[in-house]
Amino acid sequence: MLGDWGSRFEDALTAQLLQRLGVESGKDDREVAAALISALATREAPIDRIFFDWRGGRDPGAGKYPSEQFRNLSKALEGRERPEAHPYWSDPGPCSMPIGEVEAIWTAISERDDWRPFEDKVRAIRRMGEAMRGDAPQG
């Protein structure tokens, strides 16, 4: 059982990376995962931005991601592109949670008893979850 742990881990990691990227499984899944990991390691952009920009296998272009690692990712994703229907993917950027935003939300609550920024963030996170699952937008 432990003898095949490495292979099982790699299969699970590959599946999760493809799911997070929003592409279907195919014959070269490990190559796509390896190209993605290599591209992420460049730190050309924050991880949430990369997954947002490349969602559905879409390549934002060499102007935005010029490194060899991202060009290799683009090649690995050829034929796996799929349009994302949820309007979230047309937003200017991903829903993120940098520490400055956490602090601003907490300040609004602790100093003014203003829960609006917190509620807005919860709505934004839920919307992102809908988009990642492929759910229809909630009206």
Same domain assignment for residues 52 and 16: yes
- Position 114 in a domain: yes
What pLDDT digit, counting tens, does each position of 28-59 carry?
999 999 999 999 999 999 999 999 999 999 99
**What was the pLDDT predicted at 3?**
77
Same domain assignment for residues 63 and 128: no
Nearest to 88 by CA among 46, 47, 134, 54: 134
Same domain assignment for residues 69 and 112: no
Same domain assignment for residues 94 and 76: no
**What was the pLDDT predicted at 63?**
96
Count Cβ atoms below 10 Å from residue 14 Cβ, excluding itself: 19
**What was the pLDDT predicted at 115?**
98
pTM for the predicted model, two decimal places: 0.86
Tell me the two tokens of residue 106: 């907490």
Say if residue 138's pLDDT is above 80.
no
- Cα-based angle 113, 124, 13 (whole degrees, multiple of 5): 125
Place of tokens 């492929």: 134
- Position 138 in a domain: no
- Position 60 in a domain: yes
Q: CB under 8 Å to 75, separation ≥6 — which residues?
A: 35
**When comparing pLDDT for 45 and 138, which is higher?**
45
Q: Which domain holds residue 101?
A: 90-133
What pLDDT digit, counting tens, does each position of 74-131 carry?
999 999 988 888 999 999 999 999 999 999 999 999 999 999 999 999 999 999 999 9
- Cα-based angle 31, 34, 36 (whole degrees, multiple of 5): 110
Domain count, the chain: 2
Same domain assignment for residues 78 and 108: no
- Position 67 in a domain: yes
